[in-house]
Chain A
Amino acid sequence: MFIKAEGLSKKYGGVSALSGVSFSLERGEVLGLFGLNGSGKSTLLDILALAARPDEGKICFDGAEVLYKTAQARRRIGYVPQEIALFEELTVRENLLCWSRLPGKKAKERADETAEKLNLTDFYKKKVSALSGGMKRRVNLAVALLGQPELLVLDEPFAGVDADNTDWIETKLREMADGGVAQIVSGHSPDQIMPLIDSILVLSRGESVWYGSKETFLAEAEGVGVNRKMQGIIRGEAL
């Protein structure tokens, strides 16, 4: 087991944002995380990306608890936030260099390599502010890949992305999964990320209301439809 999360809970000012969420993930596995706005998806992703500390529960990487060795563990994680976390005033290349953990020459080599991998070379010297929304998403993803992560945490990576870029990003993520990179991808619409994922975790009001493989979910959704089934789970309706 590559990642194991047990009983993760988090409160903000007395309000429970996440309550006792558990799941596990193998290398190369892609977990789809679903839920309405405010269901706790972003809180869970922040905790998994080690950008926030849970009030209760633990996360283990390869069987070892990581919460108190965050600096080391963070090197193994690539985080793609929902917002475009880039410096608009800098070029694509400068952004890749700015966020790199590597020293001088190595950072440049890795930035070039990542840009090539994500077909960013044509826009390499353009300022991020001059790029389209879809292209910014690509650069956002590229920054997360700079550290060659073992776990990729993606918060709604397809929000506001056109169909071409969605397909392109999906293909890249699938290639990375095939290469052994575990991924946790959040989204609103199951249709959009269903082709990418292997397992599903559904959150409602901070609690895990459905967790299992994609196959089980699809079997349960047969005759009802994937979207309707998902809405039913989220709303607690029996379908």
Chain B
Amino acid sequence: MRFLVFDLKRIFSGKTLVLLCLLSPIIVVFIFSTVISPMLYTAGGLRFNLAICDEDGSEGVQEFISQMLNSQALKDLVTSYPVKTEEDGVAMLESGDISVFVHVPAGLFESMRTGEAVKVDIISTKAHALEANLTSMTLKSSLEIVGKSQNVMEAARLLLIDKGVDEAQADEYLTESTNDAITRYMSRRETLGDGGPISPVGEYLPVEYYISAIFSIFAALAMLPLIHFSAADSSGAILRRGLLCGIGTGGFFAARIVSGAIFVLLVLTMLFPTSLLLKLADTVLGGSYANNFAALAVSLVLSALCFSALALTVAVWLPNENTALWTGFFLVIGMAAFCGALIPEGALPKWASLIGRWLPIRSTMRLLSVSLFDFDRQIFLQDALKALGFSALLLLLGWLGLNRRGSGA
């Protein structure tokens, strides 16, 4: 225990390092949201053509599409082309005339009214994955909210009929109130974008993507100081002295894993206020983030444990500190690239995406994303188990490597 306390004191002794670890992700998120992303949006680099095939054709869906295309998220980015059939849309996509094709199936509005699951197809090519993601995110969150409003309106319609109001009048009420709800929601979405806490310059951004990506990358980068400490200690006289002073490989291992995990947790700490802000957006400003604090806490602990174990493994299996540090650095970059943290996963070649599925950053990114923005128990459990599996494997490798270093003792 005493060794752990001093190990923590060592790791946290560099105040500049600690401050950098704490603030860097926030600074990068801020720069991304205030400079890089608006540049992408306003420079026209992201402007794209979109075709919509509305097989439903109802007034509600038309209103919804109109509002969506004029939303803060898409209005300056999208030129839309209506097409009559799905084949026409796919043909335009194949010829390169459009980047994204949205197919609204027949009966969508009715399905929403009756509370059934609805599905809108968003078809794109790998080269336009970012545009497809942006469209998908806007559409998904809008559909969710509108769907919920629909259910409330439908309940109100039934209540009106129960109370003896004429069915035609009740239907008219439903159509009007639904359109009103869509308009209000889409307008509120703009308000959220303009003055909301996520994007200070007023642009709607795919925050789900870059907040989890940036924090995951920084958590992985936090491995570098840990690799430095572990490599220096385990290759030099420190480990030997530790063994002779009765600390033993077990004590050394436990102290380094726990202190490393606490250090990585520090980097991820700022996700808690972020989550609070999102919660605020959800309840006050009308956002649609279903975050879960307990899941977030579990995600942070698992991510921290995973990266702490990875840092120790790299440090004890590579021959010296310099090699371990460079390997650690390139490992972070490689993992980030393969896991879709640097570029969206949809834009990656299939083989790269497959490799990425078996790297820890992907699980941690998904855990953070799911627990911060769109909690889904099944996805969370799946990725939590994966992160736990990575941690167990890395802990075992770290332990074996450390024993090898202290072998014979």
Contact = CB atoms under 8 A, between A and B. Distances in A.
A193 to B, nearest CB: 20
B21 to A, nearest CB: 16
B236 A50 contact: no
A97 B2 contact: yes
B259 to A, nearest CB: 12
B91 interface: no
Contacts of A36: none
A52 interface: yes
B13 A89 contact: yes
Given A51-B243, A53-B409, A99-B245, A90 B238 contact: no
A178 interface: no
Interface stretch (A77-85, A184-192, A197-205, A225-233): A77-85
Contacts of B6: 87, 90, 94, 97-98
Contact of B3 (A46, A84, A98): A98
Interface string B75-117: 0000000000000000000000000000000000000000000
Interface residues of B, number: 20
A70 B240 CA distance: 13
A113 B348 CA distance: 63
B240 A79 contact: yes
A99 B408 contact: no
B388 to A, nearest CB: 32
Interface residues of A, number: 30
B200 to A, nearest CB: 37
A184 to B, nearest CB: 14
Interface of A: 46, 49-53, 70-71, 74-75, 77, 79, 81-85, 87, 89-90, 94, 97-101, 107, 143, 146-147
Given A52-B408, A81-B240, A84-B237, 20 more contacts: A46-B240, A49-B240, A51-B244, A51-B409, A70-B409, A74-B244, A79-B240, A85-B236, A85-B240, A89-B9, A90-B6, A90-B10, A94-B6, A97-B6, A98-B2, A98-B3, A100-B245, A101-B245, A101-B246, A107-B2
